[in-house]
């Protein structure tokens, strides 16, 4: 088996990798937190719309989502209470 020549590198290379990974992980965590907050707000708004008397079809027409998505969000909202 032939070995190709590898360049030498100093500690800055693995350090940069670790820093980039930490930055990526932090950004991913922030994104997940923001999405969870948005999902809760979305489910709350759907529940309020249903309680106000809007039908699934009216909601679907208004915001362009499926009946299944509406139902799922409302169920998640109810289980979070």
pLDDT bin (cut points 50, 70, 90) of residue 75 is confident
Taking the C-alpha atoms of residue 14 and residue 24, their distance in angstroms, rounded to an integer, is 15
At 45, give phi and psi (nearest 5°).
-65, -40
Task: Please give the model's pTM, rounded to 2 decimal places.
Answer: 0.71
Q: What percent of the chain has pLDDT above 70?
A: 96
Per-residue pLDDT of 12-40, as tens digits, reads 999 999 999 999 999 999 999 999 999 99
Per-residue pLDDT of 47-67, as tens digits, reads 999 999 999 999 999 999 999
Q: What is the pLDDT of residue 2?
A: 62
């Amino acid at each position: 088996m032939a070995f190709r020549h590898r360049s030498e590198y100093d500690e800055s290379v693995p350090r940069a990798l670790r820093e980039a990974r930490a930055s990526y992980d932090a950004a991913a965590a922030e994104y997940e937190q923001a999405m969870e907050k948005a999902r809760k707000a979305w489910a709350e708004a759907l529940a309020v719309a249903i309680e106000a008397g809007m039908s699934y079809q009216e909601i679907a027409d208004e915001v362009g989502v499926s009946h299944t998505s509406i139902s799922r969000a409302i169920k998640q909202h109810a289980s979070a209470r």
